[in-house]
Every structure is written in structure tokens, then in C-alpha cells.
Amino acid sequence: MAGTSDLTRLTIADAGAGLAAGDFSARELTQAHLDAMAAARDLNAYSAETPDQALAMADASDARRGQGDAQGPLDGIPLAIKDLFCTEGVLSTAGSHILDGFKPTYESTVTQQLWDAGAVMLGKTNMDEFAMGSANVTSHYGPCLNPWKAASGDAAGKDLVPGGSSGGSASAVAANIALGATGTDTGGSIRQPGSFCGIVGMKPTYGRCSRWGIIAFASSLDQAGPLTRTVRDGALMLGAMAGYDPKDSTSVDIPVPDYAAALTGDIRGLRVGIPAEYRMDGTPPEIEALWQQGRDWLRDAGAEIVDISLPHTKYALPTYYIVAPAEASSNLARYDGVRYGLRVEGEDIIDTYEKTRAAGFGPEVKRRIMIGTYVLSAGYYDAYYLQAQRVRTRIADDFRAAWDKCDVILTPTAPSAAFAIGEKMDDPIAMYLNDIFTVPASMAGLPAISVPAGLSADGLPLGLHLIGPAFAEETMLRAADVLETAAEFEGRQ
Amino acid sequence: MTDTAPDHLSGHVTTRIGHNQKDLVEGATGPWEVIIGLEVHAQVTSEAKLFSGAATAFGAEPNTQVSLVDAAMPGMLPVINRECARQAIRTGLGLGAQINLRSVFDRKNYFYPDLPQGYQISQFTQPIVGEGRITVDLPDGESFEVGIERLHLEQDAGKSIHDQHPQKTFIDLNRSGVALMEIVSKPDIRSGEEAAAYLGKLRSILRYLGTCDGDMSQGSMRADVNVSVRRPGEDLGTRAEIKNVNSLRFVRQAVDYEVRRQIELIEDGGEVDQETRLFDANRGETRSMRSKEEAHDYRYFPDPDLLPLEFDQAFVDALAADLPELPDAKKARFIDDYGLSSYDAGVLVAERETAEYFEAVIDPAGAKRDAKLAANWVTAELFGRLNNADKDITESPVAAVQLGGLIDLIADDTISGRIAKDVFAEMFDSGQEAAAIVEEKGLKQITDTGAIESVIDQLIADNPDQADQYRQGNTKVAGWFTGQAMKATQGQANPQMVNQILKDKLGG
């Protein structure tokens, strides 16, 4: 049997192989993670740990394997689950005070599929409240820390944010206290924390994974995806997470391919688009340089680099900050203190609503509810919401035109490396700009992935971002795998 | 609470041109024209709710027919119930309306305890059914047309129960998410009587289609009535909306009250407020609920959890081909095929069950009984007794085939029409067959010529003066003789035979 710390450093693929070979049991693998979690609580990556459940699931996995009935590459693999997923009998709060004590009687489709594939739940991970944030600082459970530290610069020695909103999931995977984690991505909430924590974060095509049982932020944008230490692990997790669900009208009924089989390493002739509009003023030179490096790596692997234009890129972020809050303002109306979660009793029902929501939602959630309510209001609807929907169509059209010229698009993931906790807190716009490169793909519903590609001058991870056509996850993953190989990213030492 | 939809009616122009003098209401200062439009909420007949698999039966224990979706648990998603969409399309076809092959579900946002999601899923700008038109008959035989503005699908809300606790309100979510069709008329209605007749016709069509059970007492169907008055030919006045009126009679009463109120208000120099009003059935009056100025901004937007509802014309055509015969067509057929009057045909087709009962009585494929006679028996005797017994036709103690048997006894002169009424009363009480009652009570008509002749011979012998008057051409006396003959036979003599024999013996 390998040493405990070795077990937590495995990839999902290698752990699966070790389990299959009988090198260690699922229980040993799970226990190693539970021990590591206990030792890493200062990260605040988990908002709820489920050790009993984890060990029971691990034992069940070992029993299956003992009977020759192992379910596949995820059987016995310990995973962390973003707290946005409803998990039966386990606290599910979306990082919000308003869902205090909420233990669903149901299991989200995506997590159920993971458990059906034999995976083991370690716990629920910290996140920005209702997935609204890019630094995991809006959580009711306090900020989550990035396991990385800057070696130099302004942030040297300070606690850094893991990105957000799937900050706890990214931090857990980067800190080796989960082999992989689920996240959700609305405007970049998987990819940006992936970039900040030096791991792979993938947002599949909208409709690829069921949203049933995932606490809604912005329904037309939310999509579940994996955070993993390798592209291959992401492919393995997505294989179990994806699939049509009749309970989600927006899920798409097309077969789930063997994503790992797409990782051939061969991208000869692949056309990689470089969108001119992603060269933005103020982007740090080291990010520009990494982007150039990414182009070179892919070209060296036989890809063809193509200049493309996505003219409406600059409208994506402002448009996103109309559409997402609009939907959120409505989605969050159900948190009224009547049926579950927090209730602050008032004089009458209206007073109870007001007191409950005033106490239960944090400032960022309130800000977005206000924005969303405003843009849907009579007299403003046409100018904001309707206009935003029109622009959204243009953004999707830009991509559609681009696919005539290229097969995937390469961009930076985020405009900076991880920053110190407390930064940008007083400036929502600066915080929102974190998603400048990730939001356009979200608006178009396209699959995208962040691959750790290098380090900043201060020694912090930086990701490169690949966007693919709808349901072309295989092509995107193949390119991501080549990028990962070329980058030889070491991970956190 | 079922909240008000925004003004589907506002800005819509009546399709009814000109005005009928009889519809004008005389005020102290001259005539007024009444303009009415109805928004009718009809619960879709389906096993399950609009967006969840929960059951829809009325009267279940509170909160026993509630799914995770209906209770708006976190992460739950709506999925359209295809049966509800199918029923809405069938209804649209029955209203002669445009069927929209693509429609969109929107969220209507407001906070209320019996609305767990904090929004109602409805259809705002792109409803499943567009414009249509129906013909409405009035009791006096006149008819008028009402334009249908639209029909859309939406969720019902739950129910607030205020009488269980001194301070608290209890919520029953059984109705939460039940499918409703909101059917919006154009402002083509001109009186309380017309409003009630329109609602009755709409109810009839829905019940024929089987898309709504039309049970207004259980809330399956309820109307929001928009009323305004104006001087003939002038611009529309400000309207008041009377919410949730739940019977035809109340619609008529509510409109009549509201019209008088508005006319008096304006004639006294006041102005009608655009507001929502409640009809108090006990007092027969409407009163203000809240003013539209305070109304919510519902922030409608397309529900991102649902794709647009799309189907092809072939699907619509298949539903159209499979529609049952509707009241108008049935009425025309009853007139054409059975020679019924427009009035009788109208009465018989108003309820699908009545029409079916009537056709079972005449048995067009078998016995082919006299349709006019059958119509009279159904609309007069049967309706009268059902009414007294507070039963509807589906609960009739006399089955259609039994009434047919009675009519056969009349037709073959076994009993007279008068005796038949007694037999029918007996049938209604005991459920026995007509023939058995006639047999048992010895009610068979006397058709034996000899027996009738001897009665008449005796009458002539006993009443020579009357017999002379008859011979001198006083026909009034003929009736007297008939009456006496019938009396002498306890009504069992065949009246036609009595008349014939009298004529033979006295007419010479």
C-alpha cells in the first residue's frame, strides 16, 4: 500500500488503476482524504464534511469490487461536491445563511449519477453565496483560501482567494483533499477558480448535464462541470455527470461519448482560433505572453492557428450582468422563510419576508436581486433585459460564424492570477471583470475549459482557456490534453 | 389568491360594431352603453399538474397532492405536462381560434404565501391560442358573437386558509401548480345577461370538449369580469374588474350592480376608478379590493427553465379531426334532422349530457322515436322533476331508455299523454319501467270501440239538451262531452277515439 499522502496526490485515472489492481482499497483511499481534510481545515474548503457517509460509500465500493462488480473509472473515487448541489440528507446551503439547516429529501441528478458510478462523497464545498462571486468571499461560511501562496509581489505571504464561485471545490482539489470535485459555472465559476488554483476546470455545453437538484442562480447559464487535476480526470468525471434528464427541460438528449477516449494527443490539422477582441487593454503582459505561449504549443503539436473575430465580445460582460441577475432575482424569490431554511418572524407575512430575506442574503446577493429586479421592471425591461437578450443572440452568432474558420478557440482564462483576500471587495466592477474572458462562452452556452499552463511572475498559477462548439467537448478536451502535456504544469509543490 | 393578470384587455378593441338599442341602459341623464369583457380561468381536466407529476383531484387532504416542484424546493425544475398542452389546443380549436405552433412560458413575479416559487408560470406575450370567436344564444332566441382575444396556460396558486388559527394563515398547496386556461374575451359583451350567457356557452364548449369540468362551485371555472360604461359611440370609459365570480347568476348580478354603480357615480359627477372589485354574493354588491395603482409590477420574462412550447400543424390537425361534435353543430343537426325548434334544440344541447340523454331517448339508430315528443318530455317533465329534486341529468332516476319506453306507450296508444304524466311521476319515484307501472295499475288506455261507445251512448242519453246543442253546431259542447267521457273512464279512454265516436254519433 502506498503512503497516505501519496494516495491524496493521485489522479483519478491513477487511483482508479490502483483500486483495480488492488494496490489499495476505496476505504484506504477515502480515509487518506478524510485525514487530509481534517489537517487542512484552515483552508475552509469544505462547508460540510461527510466522513461517515464517505466511509460507508467506500466500503460499498470495495464490496462491489470484491464481487467483480466495479462500476467503472469512478468507482471508489472520493469527490468533493459543491454546496450548490442538493444532496439527500446532507446540508445543502448554496453558501447562504438563508438555507440554514436545509437538508434536501432528494439528490441532484448529477450527484446521483456520480454515486451510481461508484464515487464517494467526502463533503460539500464552500462557495460564493448562491454562486455569486469570483473570489469565494461572499460565502456565509467565511472565505475559502487558495492553497497557493505568492512567492513575491504585493500578495506575497497573504492569504489568497481561490476564485469563485466554485472556490471550495477548486481549493480542495488543488490542496489534495479531494481527487476531483463538482462545480457549477454560470459566467466562469468553474474555469476562473480552476485557473486561480492551478487545476483543470471544465464547463460543458449548456444542456449537457442536468440542472435538476442544483440550486438555481441563473437558469439559462448554470451548468455543472468537473474540477480536476488533469484533463483526463475531467473527461472521466464528465462522462458520469453528463446525460439527458427528462426532469430538466433544457437538458439535451444526445448520447454521452467516451470523453477519455478522445484524448489521443493528436491535434494535427486542428484549427485554433485566436479572437482579436480578447486582446484587451490592461491585460497583464505575463497573461499575454502565456497566451502566445499556448498558441506556440498548439502550433508545435500540429494545429493551425487562425485569427478570428468575435465582434460582440465587449458586450458580453455587461449583458451577463443583466441576464444573470434578472434570472436570479426571480429564482431567489422562493427563499421567503415559509417552507425551509432561515425564518425571521415578523409582524405579518410581508414583514417576515422582509426580515428573513434581509437577514438571510448577503450584500452581493442583495445587489444582484436589486439589479435583476430593476432590469425586469416595467419601463426598463425593453432597454435592459430585452436588449441584453438581443445582444446575447449576437454573441452566439459571433461564435457560430467563428466555427466556419476554427475548431476551438484559445484565450486566457482570467485577467490575473489569484489575488489577496480583501482585494476588490469594495469594487464590484473590478470583481466582475474576473470573468471577462469566460462569460462570452457562457452567454453562448458553449463548452469551455481552463487548463493550468504556467506561473505568474509571483509564482501563482495561470490558466489557458479553450472554447469549443456546442457538444464538441471531445475536440476541446483533445486540445486541452495536448496543451496540458506541453505546459508540463507541475502543480502545487 | 389567484392574482390578476395584467391587462390583457387594455387597448383591445371590441369587434362588435354598433349598438343595439335594447342593450342601452337608461340613466338619469340619458342612455349608457355597457362594455364588458371576461377573463375566465378554467382548470384543465388532466390527471397531473401543469409542470409537475402531482395529482389534481379536488377535495384531497391539505398538502397531500404536492410535489417538490409545487412546493418550490431548491433546485426543482418544471416540465410541461403534454396532456395540458393538448387540452389547451383542443379548447382553442373548439373556440374556432388560431393555434400558435410556438408559444412561450413566462414568469409572473410576485410574493404571496400561497405562491411558493415567488412567481407564477404563465404565458404573456406568446400564448398557445390566439384569436377566435363564438356565438352565444340568449334565452329570447337572439344570438350574438363574442371575440376571443387569447387563451393561455398558467399555473394555479395554492390556497390560503384563514380560519384555522387566530393569528396565522395556513397554506394548502394542493392547487399549487394545477393547470389553468385563461380565456380572455374581447370587450364584446353588453349586459349582465349577455355576460352570463357567454360564460354559460364557454362552459358548455369546454365541457363538450372535456377540457374543463366547468364545476364553478368547486372553483374549476371562475371569471374576472371587466365592466365599463360610456355614452353610445363615445370612447371607452374607465373599467373596474370584478374578480373571481363563480356562478352564472353571480356574473349577471355583479354586472347589473356594477353598471348601476358606475352610471350613478358618473351622473353624480364622480369618476370610476380603475380598480379590482369583489362581488359579495350575500349582499349582491361589488366593493373595492385594491386599486390598480397599487398593483404589482409583475416583471414578466420568459421562464429560462422551459423551452418554448412547439408542435407541428399535423399534431393540431389530428386533434381537430378527433374533436367531438360541439354545441353549435349539434344544435343545427337537431334542428335539421329532428325538426326541433331552435329554442328546444338550444336547450337540449346546452349540456353535453342532456343532448346525449335526448338522443338516447329517441334512439335514432333503433326505435327512431318522435323527436318533438321526446324533446317535450325531456325539457318539460324531466327537467321539472330533476329541478325539484335538485339533481342533474346524469343523476336522473329515469334512464333515457326508460323514458323511451314511456314514449312508446304513448305512441302506440297504450296510454294517453295525461296518464303518461302520472306514470312518469311514478317512474321518477320508483325507477320502475313504464310498462310495468301501466300494467300493475291498470292504466291502459281504453281503445275498445264498444266500451267507449257505450260510455258515450250513456252520456247522450243522460244529457239530451247538450246533445241537441251539439247537433246545432255548438262546438263548445263537444269539448264538454269529451271531458265527461274521459272523466267517466278515469282518463283511460283514448281521446282521439272519444272525439271520433262523438262526432259519428252526434254529427250525423
Q: Stretch A159-165: mean pLDDT, rounded? A: 97
Q: B74, A94: Cβ pair inside 8 Å?
A: yes
A156 touches chain B (CB under 8 A): no
pLDDT of res. B8: 42
Q: B77, A385: Cβ pair inside 8 Å?
A: no
| pLDDT value at A104 more than 60 | yes
B495 — pLDDT class (breaks 50, 70, 90): confident
- The gap between the terminal CA atoms of chain B, to the nearest Å, is 80
- B14-65 tens-digit pLDDT: 777 666 677 789 998 999 999 999 999 999 999 899 999 888 877 788 999 9
Q: Stretch A139-149: mean pLDDT, rounded? A: 97
pLDDT of res. B5: 41
Q: What is the ipTM of this complex?
A: 0.96
| pLDDT value at B481 more than 90 | no
Beta carbons within 8 Å of B283's beta carbon, 6+ residues apart: none
Q: Which chain B residues touch A93 with a CB distance below 8 Å?
A: none
> Radius of gyration of chain A from Cα atoms?
21
Percent over 70 (pLDDT), chain B: 95
- A273-291 tens-digit pLDDT: 999 999 988 889 999 999 9
- A17-71 tens-digit pLDDT: 999 999 999 999 999 999 999 999 999 999 999 999 999 999 999 999 999 999 9
May I ask the CATH class of domain A1-493? alpha beta
A90 touches chain B (CB under 8 A): no
pLDDT of res. B393: 92
- B308-335 tens-digit pLDDT: 999 999 999 999 999 999 999 999 999 9
Instruction: Delimit the domains of chain B by residue range.
Output: 7-316, 324-441, 449-506
CATH architecture of B449-506: Orthogonal Bundle (1.10)
pLDDT of res. B451: 83
Q: A330, B75: Cβ pair inside 8 Å?
A: no
Q: B171, A338: Cβ pair inside 8 Å?
A: yes
Q: Which chain A residues touch B118 with a CB distance below 8 Å?
A: 330, 332-334, 336
Select from A259, A261, A245 the least CA-distant residue to A116: A245
Task: For residues A350 and A86, give the distance between their C-alpha atoms in angstroms, rounded to a whole number.
Answer: 28
pLDDT of res. A5: 66
- B87-125 tens-digit pLDDT: 999 999 999 999 999 999 999 999 988 899 999 999 999
Residue of B nearest to A386 (CA): B301
pLDDT of res. B476: 81
Active site residues of A: 82, 165, 189
pLDDT of res. B290: 66
Q: B297, A108: Cβ pair inside 8 Å?
A: no
Q: Stretch A149-166: mean pLDDT, rounded? A: 95
Average predicted confidence (pLDDT) for chain B: 90
Shortest alpha-carbon distance between residue A312 and chain B (Å): 22
Q: CA-based angle B233:B237:B241, to the nearest 5?
A: 135
| pLDDT value at A166 more than 90 | yes
Q: Which chain B residues touch A376 with a CB distance below 8 Å?
A: 109, 299-301
Residue of B nearest to A380 (CA): B299
Q: Which chain B residues touch A220 with a CB distance below 8 Å?
A: 304
Going from the C-alpha of A150 to that of each of A458, A493, B181, the distances in angstroms are 5, 12, 61
CA quadruple B368, B370, B371, B374: dihedral, nearest 10: -110
Q: Which chain B residues touch A92 with a CB distance below 8 Å?
A: 74
Shortest alpha-carbon distance between residue A374 and chain B (Å): 9
- A380-400 tens-digit pLDDT: 999 999 999 999 999 999 999
Shortest alpha-carbon distance between residue A356 and chain B (Å): 13
| pLDDT value at A474 more than 60 | yes
CA atoms within 13 A on the CB side of A208: 30
Select from B234, B282, B275, B285 the least CA-distant residue to B255: B285
Task: For residues B453 and B447, give the distance between their C-alpha atoms in angstroms, rounded to a whole number.
Answer: 11
Q: A349, B113: Cβ pair inside 8 Å?
A: yes
- A333-384 tens-digit pLDDT: 999 999 999 999 999 888 999 999 999 999 999 999 999 999 999 999 999 9
B295 — pLDDT class (breaks 50, 70, 90): low
A253 touches chain B (CB under 8 A): no
Select from A396, A431, A395, A399 the least CA-distant residue to A414: A431
* A165 cis-preceded (ω within 30 degrees of 0): yes
Q: A106, B299: Cβ pair inside 8 Å?
A: no
Percent over 90 (pLDDT), chain A: 94
Percent over 70 (pLDDT), chain A: 99
| pLDDT value at B4 more than 50 | no
Shortest alpha-carbon distance between residue A11 and chain B (Å): 31
Highest mean pLDDT among A470-479, B157-166, B212-221: A470-479
Select from B387, B384, B395, B389 the least CA-distant residue to B353: B395
Q: Which three cell numbers stand for residue A145?
A: 483560501
pLDDT of res. B17: 66
Q: B304, A336: Cβ pair inside 8 Å?
A: no
Shortest alpha-carbon distance between residue A252 and chain B (Å): 11
Task: For residues A452 and A12, give the distance between their C-alpha atoms in angstroms, rounded to a whole number.
Answer: 17
